Amino acid sequence: MLSRVAESMYWLSRNIERAETLARILDVNYNRTMDRSGANQAGTRRIWESVLEICGATVEVDLWDPEKIATNAFEFCTFSTENRTSILSCIRIARANALSVRAELSTEVWETINSLYLFVEAQSPRSIAREGPSSFLRSLRDTSQAFGGVVDATIMHDDEWNFLQVGRFAERAAMTTRIIRAQDVSDQSAHEWQRLLEMCCASEPFAKSQRLTSEPSEVLGFLFLHPSFPRSTRFCVHEVDNALHRLSETPKANFSNEAERMTGRLAAMLDFVQLDEILEEGSTRFATRVGERFDGVGAAIETAYFPRVPVM
């Protein structure tokens, strides 16, 4: 397949995944700030600052009116066009990429993205204010999730699909890790940890997997290391690794390029690291370290599959 197409597939699914995660994070936190835990201004501010950190936004929250932090942060993360990672920006980028590979996408996939785009473009802060953000965020989340299903059911599971998988799971791994990194671990209150789980769509799976106690540290272990929870860092890294190996047809545990080597090494580390070690290092620092490895993987994927200057 064309390198340009591979690159667009990768960014297409990365951006849809990101929009979906953002929608969930905003929904969870919007609900949080409505009840007790967010009632005071300091609490609200802390919550929205962590949201902005997860989004990778660099804004001067100090310049905002303390009364309006929630509204401003919400708008910044949804409809801001300055913010390259707002929901609107993500959907626009995803759709532009889809347009440039439209010949490779199934009609169903294209129509899913196009409807998502038309839906988001039709919204405005005013329409959101009228109906409440939840219905918007939930429709967005549902359609983004449906995208994954339509992709799996209508696109041939070969190179195109593998690049979509790489993008989807690379983004998901990165987001889960960022969400954990932004967590204030000194706050041991139950609803803080509940918020963390909900942002990762892990509340029910976690409850199901814990039979006896639910120590906060267990949450970290679950989100970083669970082998079958589909949003854990470890699970996602394995999916990236699998997709890369399917692309190059290299046997597992071997590598044919730098991207495979780095992903394999990260997967092995997550396979064998112990929760105690993570806690000793500090979850924030561990998450930062893992995040840096992802950046390396991303760069290596670009070099291997969509280089600026092709090799003969």
Partner 1 sequence: MQSLLEHYARVDYYDEFTDDRGVPRPHYRQLAQTLAGIDWADFQHRVQVVNNVLLQRGVTFTVYADSRGTERILPFDLIPRIVSKDEWSPIKAGIAQRVRALNEFLRDVYGEQRILHDGKIPWQLIYSSRFFNREMIGIVPPHGVYIHVSGVDLIRGRDGTAYVLEDNLRTPSGISYVLENREVLKRSFPQLFEHYSPRPVDDYPRRLRDALRYSAPIGVSDPTIVLLTPGIYNSAYFEHTMLARRMGVELVEGPDLLVRDNVVYMKTTKGLTRVDVIYRRIDDDFLDPLYFRADSTLGVAGLMNAYRAGNVTVANAVGTGVADDKAVYPFVPAMIRYYLREEPILPNVPTYDCTDPLDRSYVLEHLDELVVKNTNQSGGYGMLMGPQSTGSERDKFAKAITDNPREFIAQPIIPLSCHPTVCGESIAPRHLDLRPFVLFGEDVDVPPAALTRVALTEGSLVVNSSQGGGSKDTWILED
Rounded to a whole number of angstroms, the minimum distance from the CB of residue 100 to partner 1 is 5
Closest CA to 183 of 172, 198, 205: 198
Smallest distance from partner 1 to CB 81, Å:
13
- Residue with smaller CB distance to partner 1, 102 or 265: 102
Between residues 58 and 107, which has the closer beta carbon with respect to partner 1? 107
- Rank residues 3 and 40 by Cβ distance to partner 1 and give the closer one: 3
In the complex, the smallest distance separating the C-beta of residue 107 from partner 1, rounded to whole angstroms, is 8
Where does residue 212 rank: exposed (0-12), middle (13-18), buried (19+ CB within 10 A)? exposed
Q: How far is the CB of 160 from partner 1 (least distance, A)?
A: 10
Q: Which 8-state DSSP code applies to residue 37?
A: G
CB nearer to partner 1: pick between 1 and 275? 1
> For residues 138 and 141, what is the distance between their CA atoms, to the nearest angstrom?
5
Q: How far is the CB of 258 from partner 1 (least distance, A)?
A: 15
Closer residue to partner 1, CB minimum distance, 16 or 287: 16
Nearest distance, CB of residue 80 and partner 1, angstroms:
19
- Shortest reach from residue 214's CB to partner 1, in Å: 44
Report, in Å, the least distance between residue 246 CB and partner 1. Answer: 12
Whole-number Å distance between alpha carbons of 196 and 184: 10
Query: In the 3-class helix/strand/coil scheme, how is 66-113 assigned residue by residue?
Result: HHHHHHHHHHHHHCCCCCCCCHHHHHHHHHHHHHHCCCCCCHHHHHHH
- Nearer CB in complex with partner 1: 203/248: 248
Paired tokens of 97: 């990429």
- Closest of 170, 175, 160 to residue 296, by C-alpha: 170
Which residue is associated with the tokens 């906060």?
216
The 3-class secondary structure across 40-61, one letter per residue, is CHHHHHHHHHHHHHHCCCCCCH
Geometric angle at alpha carbon 294, from 298 and 145, rounded to 5°: 80
C-beta closer to partner 1: residue 3 or 188 = 3
What residues make contact with partner 1 under the rule CB under 8 A? 1-4, 6, 96, 99-100, 102-104, 107, 110-111, 114-115, 118, 159, 247, 305-306, 310-312
Q: Which is nearer to partner 1, 10 or 169 (CB)?
A: 10
Helix (H, G, I), strand (E, B) or coil at 255: coil
CB atoms within 10 A of CB 115: 12
Any idea what DSSP says for residue 260?
H
